[in-house]
Amino acid sequence: MDGDVLLQAIASGLLIGMVYALISVGLTLIFGLMEIVNFAHGEFLMLAMYAAFFGRSLVGLDPMLSLPATVGLLFLLGVLTYRGIISRILHAPMLAQIFATFGLGLFLRGLAQFFWSPDFRSVEAPFLAGLSGGGVEVGSVSLGVPQSAAALLAGLAFLALYLFIDRSRTGLALQAVAEDRATATLMGINSDRMFALGWGLGAACVGLAGAVLATFYYIYPSVGVVFALIAYITVALGGFGSVPGALVAGLLVGLVEVVSPTLFGFSPAYKYAVVFGFYLAVVLVRPQGLFGRF
Amino acid sequence: MRRHHRWNWNALAVVGLLAPILTLSAGGARGAIQDATPAASPVAVECPPDAAGAPEDGVVRVGVILPLSGTAATVGNDERAALELAVEFVNEDRAEVPLPLAAGAGLPTLDGAQVELVFADSQGQAEVGQSEATRLIEDENVVALFGAYNSAVTRTASTAAERAGIPFLNAESSSPDLTEQGYYWFFRTSPHDGTFSEGIYDFIESLNANQSAGLETVSLLYEDTDFGVNSAAALTEQAGTRGLTIAGEVRHATGASSLTAEVQALQQQAADVLIPSSYTTDAILTVQTARQLGYLPQMIVAQDAGYADPAFVEAVGADAEGIATRSAFSPDIFEVKPVAGQVNELYRAATGKDLYDVPARGLTGMLVLLDAINRACSTDPEAIHQALVDTNLGEADTIMPWTGVTFDDNQQNELGRGIIVQVQGGQYRTVFPPEFAVVEPVVPLAPWDQRP
């Protein structure tokens, strides 16, 4: 085993792992708050990627410049989804809740294909591509600038999320609602607004992920499906509802996926099998996931 | 907290249940080439007196299965437009197009019956393709099935046709296996990957002979469904007889979220040539990852599929420059075959895109099928089968660079062949074989950071 190759694999695994973590954290946030799995999560990601694409192709904005707008738009989409759909099915049977978001996802995917065609798009990102020619060499390891920027932004987002949830009054109110909705309401917390905020935050996180992912991944209507499955496994591995869990699990999934074929010398074709096997091994020992509470 | 506990497990179970639905598996394959069309003056068909004749409602329904959504949706929808154009040629009087059945409206031997295509979306998934095939046969009363692009889908869908006893014509799946399983009802107009692989190696040999390229070792990268696996098998089988060494092979999941580990493995193999067999999404990701990790073989010669999809060139831009792929069609053919250019104008008017490999093969295959139904003088499956067996189209009857269409004992077209195109100046240009080449191939690939 060549040490340089292993180092490269670890670096690549950590970079993509940060993106997986960022995609997953929105999902886990919403689940932790109200125990609803957002099956349209992948489609939120897809819409964010298209937002970056159209920002570039229609307005000429670099994806890094349109990023705040993309995050804002997705926040809005999250709030609207809550107000328009989720709040109406809060007390509906679980299956209704599942199929509401699942249906929303299929609907959004169909809409995207109808209006924007199934064609593959990619976004020019002149700012990131221009930084040291789009790649950095650290010793023997080559890192793509867009991938590194994505990982860095994901790290910052996690930090901000942690500070917000753990240190701000609103964040504490969110936690209170997640803990016990009825008691929180008695304490004067408007749980409805907290839910809306949770959906907004969750969607904003996946919006950020989509905006940075668009700089190095192609965009098409079903792109969300590729990442949604990884997001579900990440959330389950990290523990439903756990923000630090999403971070650790995202990094683990990225590492296992990229490093295990290199380390153990098997065909990369089995990398997803290894990821899922790893997940199974973890849930056998800790059914609630690494950081799950129950 | 008891309630929480239950809910969480239910949620997990649901995730588990939905995961397979969500998983995209865009298996598939890509086929080759086909063409069929005839002369400006259609040959009169003599119908036997006992032919069943026209259907009662005067409409001949053909079921078409394509990936209209999912990872191969671009190609699927582009082919759909080409098939609709083929049907337009038949249904309307388009005497100006010198292809079979274009002159005169409808199918002449069936009292001018109109053709109606009934489309079904396979989503690129084998099991969906099979259930859609069954639905088309049982509920839509189609007289024949057509499709299905992804080899894996073609396999399951053709099984349904075989069971029901109706003809299945495939124009764009390239897994050699499909025509070798001895199906009675299955016909393929496109060459398969066995033929195509020979073309790829012929091209590499000519680079070595004419341009002293010195290409000796090969890495194979292939997706993990029917198409990729059988393509790699054909390539491996033939490499030895060509004096080429397979340095290694890397199989990847279709529709992967990252291909870093795969490209790293290729980098380790350090072969002179990379021959990838992947669909569009994975082709884009492979090239982007190769650039990021600095992996650059001397030459990339792809087994069609994603690499021959114009969406690939559009998505990766300058990084596609110099990549060669086998194909069945290229706009350069317009210069050799004016009818191809004429059809392209009509296609572009309908879609805003130029005709390329898969849509061109689809259009050709559909005309072969409709020509056979016309010669069958009937929509009886057995009569259509016999007419397909008797197919004999010449070089002038198709828009493809083929010498025609006739089926061998496996019901595989024996007269099809592939070409090699290379991305030059952002366009697919024909570089091989010499009789179709319009420009010289460029070798080796330019370093990633020295591209326009």
Expressed as residue numbers, the domain containing A224 is 3-118+145-285
Q: Is-cis flag, bond preceding B433, omega within 30?
A: yes
The region of weakest confidence among A154-168, B2-16, B281-295, B408-422 is B2-16
Q: Which residues of A touch B256 (CB under 8 A)?
A: 226
pLDDT of residue B27: 34
Distances (CA, A) of B217 to A225, B240, B269: 36, 11, 9
Q: Which tens digit of pLDDT belongs to each residue from A152-162?
A: 999 999 999 99
The residues facing B301 across adjacent strands are: B324
CATH number for position A84? 1.10.3470
| Maximum mean pLDDT: which of A28-37, A124-133, B12-21 | A28-37
Longest dimension (CA), chain B: 81
pLDDT of residue B53: 72
| Mean pLDDT for the stretch of residues B372-387 | 94
The region of weakest confidence among A84-93, A274-283, B25-34 is B25-34
**Distance between CA atoms of residues B383 and B374, nearest Å:** 10
The whole-angstrom distance between B125's CA and the closest CA on chain A is 14
Distances (CA, A) of B71 to A226, A284, B317: 10, 34, 20
Angle at A79 between CA A74 and CA A85, to 5 degrees: 115
Confidence of residue B43 (pLDDT cuts 50, 70, 90): low
Mean pLDDT of chain A, nearest integer: 89
DSSP calls for B334-349: HHH-HHHHHHHHHHHH
| A151, two tokens | 């990982």
**Distance between CA atoms of residues B361 and B369, nearest Å:** 12
Phi, psi (degrees; rounded to nearest 5) at B30: -140, 145
B9 pLDDT above the threshold of 90: no
CB atoms within 10 A of CB B452: 8
Q: Which of B1, B77, B257 sits opposite A294 (nearest CB)?
A: B1
Phi, psi (degrees; rounded to nearest 5) at B125: -115, 130
ipTM here = 0.82
B29 pLDDT above the threshold of 80: no
Phi, psi (degrees; rounded to nearest 5) at B270: 50, 45
Answer yes or no: do A288 and B8 touch at CB < 8 A: yes
Higher pLDDT, B87 or B44: B87
The whole-angstrom distance between B227's CA and the closest CA on chain A is 15
**Distance between CA atoms of residues B207 and B193, nearest Å:** 21
Q: Which residues of A touch B17 (CB under 8 A)?
A: none
Name the residue with tokens 């194909």: B327
Q: What is the DSSP letter of B179?
A: G
Give the side-chain half-sphere CA count within 13 A for B245.
8
B44 pLDDT above the threshold of 70: no
B26 pLDDT above the threshold of 90: no
Q: Which tens digit of pLDDT belongs to each residue from B148-195?
A: 999 999 999 999 999 999 999 999 998 888 998 899 999 999 998 888
pLDDT of residue A246: 93
The answer as to whether A124 is a domain residue is no
Q: Nearest to residue B254, comparing CAs of A214, A218, A272, A231?
A: A272
Q: Nearest to residue B171, comparing CAs of B372, B431, B335?
A: B372
**Distance between CA atoms of residues A106 and B344, nearest Å:** 34
Q: Which residues of B touch A37 (CB under 8 A)?
A: 11, 14-15
| A64, two tokens | 């890094």
Let me know: does B399 contact B328? Beta carbons within 8 Å: no
Higher pLDDT, B9 or A167: A167
The whole-angstrom distance between A241's CA and the closest CA on chain B is 10
Topology adopted by domain B194-327+420-450: Rossmann fold (3.40.50)
The whole-angstrom distance between B231's CA and the closest CA on chain A is 16
Q: Which residues of A touch B284 (CB under 8 A)?
A: 120, 122, 218
Domain spans, chain B: 59-191+336-416, 194-327+420-450
A130 pLDDT above the threshold of 70: yes
The region of weakest confidence among B1-15, B141-155, B235-249 is B1-15
| Mean pLDDT for the stretch of residues A45-49 | 96
The region of weakest confidence among A211-215, A238-242, B30-34, B431-435 is B30-34
The whole-angstrom distance between A113's CA and the closest CA on chain B is 8
Which class for B11: exposed (0-12), middle (13-18), buried (19 or more C-beta within 10 A)? buried
Which residues numbered 245-284 in A keep a CB inside 8 Å of some CB on B? 254, 257-262, 267-269, 271-272
Q: Which of B14, B224, B261 sits opposite A258 (nearest CB)?
A: B261
Query: Nearest chain B Cα to A292, which residue?
Result: B8
Query: Nearest chain B Cα to A259, which residue?
Result: B261
Let me know: does B272 contact B299? Beta carbons within 8 Å: yes
Answer yes or no: do A110 and B255 touch at CB < 8 A: no
DSSP calls for B22-74: H-----------------SSPPPPPPPTT--BS-TTSEEEEEEEE--SSTTHH
CATH tag, B59-191+336-416: 3.40.50.2300
The answer as to whether A127 is a domain residue is no
B349 pLDDT above the threshold of 80: yes
| Mean pLDDT for the stretch of residues B283-298 | 92
The residues facing B433 across adjacent strands are: none
Say what percent of chain A tops pLDDT 70: 98
Say what percent of chain B tops pLDDT 70: 90
CB atoms within 10 A of CB B369: 28
Which class for B41: exposed (0-12), middle (13-18), buried (19 or more C-beta within 10 A)? exposed
Let me know: does A87 contact A216? Beta carbons within 8 Å: no
| Mean pLDDT for the stretch of residues B65-78 | 90
B14 pLDDT above the threshold of 80: no
The residues facing B246 across adjacent strands are: B218
Give the side-chain half-sphere CA count within 13 A for B325.
33
Give the side-chain half-sphere CA count within 13 A for A104.
23
Which class for A178: exposed (0-12), middle (13-18), buried (19 or more C-beta within 10 A)? buried
Name the residue with tokens 């973890």: A282
Q: Which tens digit of pLDDT belongs to each residue from A64-109?
A: 999 999 999 999 999 999 999 999 998 888 889 889 999 999 999 9
Number of domain units in chain A: 1
B88 pLDDT above the threshold of 50: yes
Q: Is the CB of residue A215 less than 8 Å away from at least one CB of chain B?
A: no
Give the side-chain half-sphere CA count within 13 A for B20.
7
| Mean pLDDT for the stretch of residues A259-273 | 84
**Distance between CA atoms of residues B239 and B245, nearest Å:** 7
pLDDT of residue A294: 55
First to last CA, chain A: 41
| Mean pLDDT for the stretch of residues B251-260 | 88
The answer as to whether A112 is a domain residue is yes
| Mean pLDDT for the stretch of residues B73-88 | 94
B260 pLDDT above the threshold of 70: yes
**Distance between CA atoms of residues B296 and B290, nearest Å:** 7
Q: Is the CB of residue B225 less than 8 Å away from at least one CB of chain A?
A: no
Q: Which tens digit of pLDDT belongs to each residue from B184-242?
A: 999 999 998 888 899 999 999 999 999 999 999 999 999 988 889 989 999 999 998 88
Query: Nearest chain B Cα to A16, which residue?
Result: B258
Which residues numbered 137-166 in A keep a CB inside 8 Å of some CB on B? 142, 144, 147
Let me know: does A1 contact A215? Beta carbons within 8 Å: no
The answer as to whether A16 is a domain residue is yes
CB atoms within 10 A of CB A73: 19
The region of weakest confidence among B250-259, B328-337, B442-451 is B328-337
Answer yes or no: do A229 and B74 touch at CB < 8 A: no
Answer yes or no: do A5 and B268 touch at CB < 8 A: yes
DSSP calls for A70-111: HHHHHHHHHHHHHHHTGGGSTTS-HHHHHHHHHHHHHHHHHH
Which residues numbered 57-76 in A keep a CB inside 8 Å of some CB on B? none
The residues facing B405 across adjacent strands are: B393
Answer yes or no: do A98 and B14 touch at CB < 8 A: yes
**Distance between CA atoms of residues B179 and B251, nearest Å:** 24
**Distance between CA atoms of residues B204 and B212, nearest Å:** 10
pLDDT of residue B149: 93
Which residues numbered 161-190 in A keep a CB inside 8 Å of some CB on B? none
pLDDT of residue B12: 47
Q: Which of A121, A225, A269 sits opposite B22 (nearest CB)?
A: A225
Region class of B141: left (phi > 0), else alpha (psi between -120 and 50), else beta: left
